[in-house]
């Protein structure tokens, strides 16, 4: 196994992990604020559809990325209104949002199925991209991958070292106490949900503008669900989200590696590996109760300032 082969594997792992990282970071922030949004898959799909349409019509990748983030945020507003303002069950609302997003993305993207565009090009950073093993994986990617690194670093710093991070955690742990201290709990939760929607939309934009620069129904392929499991796997800790995303990213390309080595295994069986890894990890964590106790204590519970 030569260095060039390892370079390519690590490069593909980071690319595959990028949409998982973006969705998981957004979902983690939302859940840290006490809101359980299971509609990530639907928001990713809507973001992917709008991003591709905007880029295809305007010829601008920038407008495509902005359209994807805005579409995810717009869909998340619907969830926030129903779950936070109307205090509906968050689990049922999130599941309904996924169904809604799946159907909406198929409807608005119907005329663009099979169309393709020239996707985002990798930008190699001089000198750094020549570092053995990690250079190509970390420093020869496209702008959205670099953006995901920056968002990860920014969120890690916010949650670890700033007053804003402390307020978000307080709202997720004990909203009544946070409200008593004068913090606008509902507003903070709204903003956290909108941020999660924008991140899901960015993940969708990455899928349709870079990873596979085309539009097809179901392009998310369950990544929204895997990202939700990733947040639990990471025990709601930012630094673990990155490592978990790379792990799941590697699991997603493992079937290609095995096929390349000539293993006579059904491609359908190999294609289910990332989902199988997700289930196994969750089962192990539940049996050991590892990380489950780190969930925000008010996760999924409605809050009313009048109570």
How does pLDDT run across 176-212, given as a tens digit for each residue?
999 999 999 999 999 999 999 999 999 999 999 999 9
Q: How many CB atoms lie within 10 A of CB 81?
A: 14
Going 12 to 225 to 25 to 282, the CA torsion angle's sign is negative
pLDDT on residue 295: 83
Q: Any bridge partners for residue 214, and if so which?
A: 116
Backbone angles phi, psi at 147, to 5 degrees: -60, -40
pLDDT on residue 289: 58
Structurally, at CATH architecture level, domain 12-115+142-294 sits in: Orthogonal Bundle (1.10)
CA-to-CA dists, residue 301 to 33, 83, 282, angstroms: 11, 10, 22
Binned at pLDDT 50, 70 and 90, residue 267 comes out as low
Nearest to 164 by CA among 295, 256, 33, 283: 33
pLDDT digits over 100-142, tens only? 999 999 999 999 998 889 989 999 999 898 888 889 999 999 9
Is 307's pLDDT higher than 90? no
CA distance 26 to 41: 12
The answer to pTM > 0.75 is: yes
Binned at pLDDT 50, 70 and 90, residue 272 comes out as confident
| 136-166 burial code (b ≥16 CB/10 A, e <16) | bbbbbbbbbbebbeebbeebbebbeeeeebe
Is 264's pLDDT higher than 90? no
Q: What is the largest CA-CA distance in the chain?
A: 64
Contact 77, 198 (CB under 8 A): no
Contact 115, 214 (CB under 8 A): yes
pLDDT on residue 1: 54
**To the nearest whole number, what is the mean pLDDT of the chain?**
89
Percent of the chain with pLDDT over 70: 92
- Give the least confident one: 32-46, 51-65, 115-129, 269-283: 269-283
Radius of gyration of the chain (CA): 19
CA distance 277 to 266: 17
pLDDT on residue 260: 64
CA distance 215 to 209: 9
Binned at pLDDT 50, 70 and 90, residue 293 comes out as low
């Amino acid at each position: 196994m030569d260095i060039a082969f390892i370079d390519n594997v690590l490069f593909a792992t980071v690319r595959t992990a990028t949409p998982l990282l973006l969705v998981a970071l957004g979902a983690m922030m939302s859940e840290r604020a006490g809101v359980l949004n299971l509609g990530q898959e639907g928001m990713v799909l809507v973001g992917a559809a709008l991003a591709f349409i905007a880029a295809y019509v305007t010829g601008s990748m920038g407008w495509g990325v902005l359209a994807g983030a805005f579409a995810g945020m717009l869909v998340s507003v619907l969830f926030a209104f129903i779950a936070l303002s109307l205090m509906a069950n968050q689990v049922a609302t999130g599941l309904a949002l996924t169904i809604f997003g799946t159907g909406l993305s198929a409807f608005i993207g119907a005329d663009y199925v099979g169309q393709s565009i020239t996707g985002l090009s990798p930008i190699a950073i001089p000198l750094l991209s020549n570092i053995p093993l990690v250079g190509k994986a970390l420093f020869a990617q496209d702008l959205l991958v670099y953006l995901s690194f920056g968002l990860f670093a920014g969120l890690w710093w916010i949650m670890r070292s700033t007053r804003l991070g402390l307020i978000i955690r307080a709202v997720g742990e004990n909203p009544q106490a946070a409200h008593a201290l004068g913090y606008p709990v509902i507003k903070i939760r709204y903003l956290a949900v909108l941020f999660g929607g924008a991140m899901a939309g960015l993940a969708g934009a990455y899928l349709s503008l870079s990873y596979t620069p085309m539009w097809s129904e179901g392009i998310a392929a369950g990544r929204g669900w895997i990202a939700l499991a990733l947040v639990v796997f990471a025990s709601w800790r930012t630094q673990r989200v990155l490592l978990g995303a790379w792990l799941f990213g590697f699991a997603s390309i493992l079937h290609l590696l095995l096929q390349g080595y000539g293993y006579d295994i059904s491609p359908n069986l190999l294609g289910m590996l990332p989902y199988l890894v997700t289930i196994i990890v969750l089962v192990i964590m539940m049996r050991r109760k590892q990380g489950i106790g780190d969930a925000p204590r008010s996760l999924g519970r409605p809050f009313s300032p009048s109570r």
